[in-house]
Structure 1
Amino acid sequence: MGIISGLMGNASEVDIKKIQDEFEPILADIEKVEKAYRLVRDLFVFTNKRLILVDKQGATGKKTEYHSIPYKSITHFSVESTGHFDLDAELKIWISSTSMPIDKQFKNDKSIYEIQKTLAHYMFK
């Protein structure tokens, strides 16, 4: 998937070498990026230790929130596929000690299934 796909609300896989270099200041010495997906301006970054959700904020995207979630803190997640009238797919991730899930919207089923498969892989390690 390419840039156009990402802008359309479909997650696209990102070059992990680029992300590793970009995230060097916030990664632990023993941590490495293993997979990354871009969803419009946001990122899902899977390291060998945690999931980092990156939320670019504002018109310019200069303000950035890094939400760090150790895999052991994820209690469960759900995927909702698109329907006839609801064209958005949805991924919800619940973290221990929180009642409300993290909710991410996608424009198609294909990209959401790839991310949920990667999430399941790291949760069950």
Structure 2
Amino acid sequence: MIDFNNGAYLKLKKVAGDSVEKEVAPLFVNGEAIIGAYKSIRDFVVFTNKRIIAVNVQGLTGKKKDFSTLPYSKIQAFSIETAGVLDLDSELELYFSGLGKVRFEFTGASDITTIGRIIGEMIL
């Protein structure tokens, strides 16, 4: 399991879903599709219509990867923080039953309110 508190998922930036699809598609269940993908230097997070997949790229070569599945059905609550004038990043905090809090930071250019709306649609 990824340690979400170690700062590995800081400053995620939106990328095209097809740029990471070949890496996560083997995990997909029937009818699953990418809604959005966000990437930091090496690690990335994929939002699908069924879950969130957090990928931690490990090692020097990056061939070893840890895939953590975060199902929307286990989200108890969530919080979004939009970017401001001096604080240019936005944040998403998810509270999972049995797991605790998971936090992602996005660049200010990311549309955090759209992410919040999508998560709301999935859990409410």
| TM-score of the superposed pair, with normalisation by structure 1 | 0.68
Q: Which residue of 2 aligns with 1:68?
A: 69
Give, as a single letter, the amino acid of the residue that structure 1 aligns with 2:52. Answer: L
RMSD of aligned alpha carbons: 2.7
Could you list the structure 1 runs, at least 4 aligned residues long, displaced by more than 6 angstroms after superposition.
Answer: none
Structure 2 segments unaligned to the other structure (5+ residues): 1-10
Greater relative contact order structure (CA < 8 Å, 6+ sep): 2
CA contact (8 A) 2:90 2:110 kept: no
Alignment of 1:1-125 (within 5 A): 9=11, 11-16=13-18, 19=21, 21-28=22-29, 30-40=30-40, 41-58=42-59, 60-99=61-100, 101-108=101-108, 110-124=110-124
| Sequence identity (%) | 30
Distance 2:107 2:74 in 1: 27
Distance 1:16 1:119 in 2: 21
CA contact (8 A) 1:13 1:35 kept: no
The residue matched to 2:83 in structure 1 has which SS? coil
The residue matched to 2:111 in structure 1 has which SS? helix
Task: Count the aligned residue pairs.
Answer: 113
Structure 1 segments unaligned to the other structure (5+ residues): 1-8
